Amino acid sequence: MGEENKVILHGMWASPYVKRVELALKVKGIPFEYIEEDLSNKSILLLKYNPIHKKVPVLVHNGKPVSESFVIIEYIDETWKNEPRLLPEDPYERSRVRFWASYIQQVTECMLKVFKGEEKALEEFYEKLNVLEDGIKNSSLGINTNIEGRNMGLLDIMIIITLGAYKVQEQVFGVKILDPDKTPLLCSGLSSLIELPIVKEITPPHDKVVSFLHFLKEMVFKSPAN
């Protein structure tokens, strides 16, 4: 890759928003440099590239920064038009993918409430999973289990990053996240996706994830509100 087409991703290894972008780059086959950020001591470059939110992910292409995971993924798909396309070309189908991506983002946010032990969060989370299951059943929401992992789209990426670590999350937080009896299609599709080599490439080591989740549980989620 020439210097004029250089791609750099500023991220933090445990951020699901960063992982979305990292997987999207891998799926599209785009070479990139990854820079790990210490969010307790943000780099001058991060503050320069994202002065408004001062957070990751930030994609830098040709020296120009792009922020926010959804915006970055759309930018990637529009800039590199090679297959696979992360969003459909057809405007209506594209709008449906955007709708479901927004819904899966709500699932992500609801999951955080579950981990924090918020009242009724688990009930709300299960309701949202049932909606995803119905979406798969009615073909509104497609999950691609292509063994090569090169035909994944935005929704596959969203589901993998949102739910892919469910086993270790269940272990640390002591809650049942996925039940094959209640959401069989979602569980089956996810099980196939997380076994893909391209997904395993971006999956952090198990012990590292366990340690981080324990830190969140004991130090962050139990902290009193300001």
CATH 3.40.50.300 assigned to 7-79: no
What is the per-residue pLDDT for 130? 97
| Whether the Cβ atoms of residue 32 and residue 24 lie closer than 8 Å to each other | no
What is the per-residue pLDDT for 1? 47
Domain positions in the chain: 7-79, 91-220
Say how many residues make up the chain. 226
Q: For residues 189 and 200, what is the distance between their CA atoms, to the nearest angstrom?
A: 15
Show pLDDT as tens, one digit a residue, over the chain (226 residues): 455 689 999 999 999 999 999 999 999 999 999 999 999 999 999 999 999 999 999 999 999 999 999 999 999 999 999 999 999 999 999 999 999 999 999 999 999 999 999 999 999 999 999 999 999 988 778 776 555 555 789 999 999 999 999 999 999 999 999 999 999 999 999 999 999 999 999 999 999 999 999 999 998 887 554 4
What is the per-residue pLDDT for 225? 47
Name the CATH architecture for the domain at 91-220. Up-down Bundle (1.20)
Strands 7-11 and 33-36: parallel
Q: What is the three-class DSSP state of 63? A: coil
What is the per-residue pLDDT for 219? 86
Q: For residues 139 and 211, what is the distance between their CA atoms, to the nearest angstrom?
A: 38
Q: How is the beta sheet containing 58-61 ordered, strand by strand?
A: 33-36, 7-11, 58-61, 64-67
Q: What is the three-class DSSP state of 174? A: coil
What is the per-residue pLDDT for 28? 95
